[in-house]
Amino acid sequence: MTLRPALICIALTLLASLAAAYDDPVADYLATRERLVPAAVSSRIALQQVLATGDFDHVEVTGDVSGKASAAPSLDGHPMRTLMLTLDDGWSLALKAGEEIDPLQVGHRVAVIARLAGGTGLNDLLLEAWAYDWDLPHEEEGMDDPPAEAPLAAPVQPALPVVSAPAGAPPTVGAAPIVPPSPDAGLDGVIAVWKKWVLGLNPKLSDEQASNIVRWVLHYSQQYNVNHKLVFAMMKWESWFDPGCVSHAGAIGLMQLMPGTARSLGVDPHNVQQNIEGGVHYLSEQLETYRNRPNYERVALAVACYNAGPNAVKRAGHSVPNISETRSHVKKVSNTFYELHQAGMP
């Protein structure tokens, strides 16, 4: 008689656990991964190789949402959408999807499982499941952290000089000397180069929007003595130059300012110019905090502070926190910053 209530209790507990797992999108994603056994890929070359072998029906890809688009209804009458992902090698991948991608916003880092949809091309992938990458367990979590001197396996930054700041201004990493926005031909040439780069990343911007974004980045980078290449690299991975971008956490605009941070800086995050000023100002404060660190380390820690918050970096012993989203973000921004220098961008 005493066993029956206990068995009932155990059964109810198991049913509750199953129900919770069923309602848990992460559990659903992990169950889909276990069922389909997709090939994990992280670059265009890896994806091409997997598709060429024909050994896998499904692939798992991790990347950053760079856009969404609606399409005509499919043959079965269900509405179709296109999800654009930017992989870690910088390549954009288009996946066919349905309404399940509606919550996603530009800048979200997600893992997706997709299958071939009647073809063998890179754009013949149909989304089966997705989850926020930061919600998923990662193999590296719980392992020994890399040393603070090299928080991520990113290219070593060039030895940029630390520019002496004017009295009262925060010193920061190697700011290239530029003049404030003006109609002179020299600056117009610089603006034209950066505008082309920005429009290449977000062709939905008008020429005027792109030009204004570039002018404000150059202007406020000089005002707060921050290397404008670093600001452009940050903006790429924060919002993909989408002025209306709002993250799942509520960060707003091109520089993804949280409302509280914007208030503390005295800017309106919905105003594009003020959003850029606030973001550059806040970045300069983080760079100032680590002004005595080596150049690359200083950039990595400032970007980590910007992404995860200064307190998270402090709790990690003034190193990049072992948070997959933050570590990935630091690596991507640092790589782009390095690439912009290597490309000779003005």
Q: What six digits make up the tokens of 336?
A: 């782009």
Number of residues that make up the chain: 346
Name 231's Cβ contacts closer than 8 Å, sequence gap at least 6.
217, 220, 221, 279, 280, 283
Of residues 73 and 156, the one with the higher pLDDT is 73
If you ran DSSP here, which 8-state letter would residue 122 be given?
A: T
CA separation for the pair 131, 113 (Å, rounded) = 9
29 pLDDT exceeds 50? yes
The separation between the first and the last C-alpha atoms of the chain, rounded to the nearest angstrom, is 82
CA separation for the pair 275, 242 (Å, rounded) = 12
Q: In whole angstroms, how far apart are CA 136 and each of 124, 164, 199?
A: 26, 43, 33
172 pLDDT exceeds 60? no
146 pLDDT exceeds 70? no
303 pLDDT exceeds 50? yes
Active site positions, annotated: 238
Query: In this predicted model, what pLDDT tens digit does every residue of 183-199 receive, in sequence order?
Result: 344 677 888 889 999 99
Query: In this predicted model, what pLDDT tens digit does every residue of 214-233 receive, in sequence order?
Result: 999 999 998 888 999 999 99
Query: In this predicted model, what pLDDT tens digit does every residue of 71-96 receive, in sequence order?
Result: 555 545 555 788 888 777 667 788 88
Question: What's residue 156's pLDDT?
Answer: 33
CB 301 within 8 A of CB 308: no
Under CATH, what is the fold of the domain 23-135? Answer: OB fold (Dihydrolipoamide Acetyltransferase, E2P) (2.40.50)
CB 279 within 8 A of CB 262: no
Sign of the CA dihedral running 85, 87, 90, 91? negative
CA separation for the pair 142, 138 (Å, rounded) = 9
If you ran DSSP here, which 8-state letter would residue 170 be given?
A: P
Question: What's residue 120's pLDDT?
Answer: 53
Q: How many CB atoms sit inside 10 A of residue 343's CB?
A: 9
CATH code that applies to domain 185-342: 1.10.530.10
Average pLDDT, the chain: 76
Domain ranges, ordered by start, for the chain: 23-135, 185-342
249 pLDDT exceeds 90? no
Helix axes 295-308, 324-342, angle to 10 degrees: 130
50 pLDDT exceeds 80? no
Dihedrals phi, psi of 274, to nearest 5 degrees: -70, -30
Question: What's residue 122's pLDDT?
Answer: 65
Question: What's residue 163's pLDDT?
Answer: 29
Question: What's residue 175's pLDDT?
Answer: 33
What secondary structure does DSSP assign to 41-106, as a single string? E-SHHHHHHHHHHT--SEEEEEEEEEEEEEE---TTS--EEEEEEE-TTS-EEEEEE-GGGTT--T
Dihedrals phi, psi of 112, to nearest 5 degrees: -130, 145
CA separation for the pair 83, 119 (Å, rounded) = 18
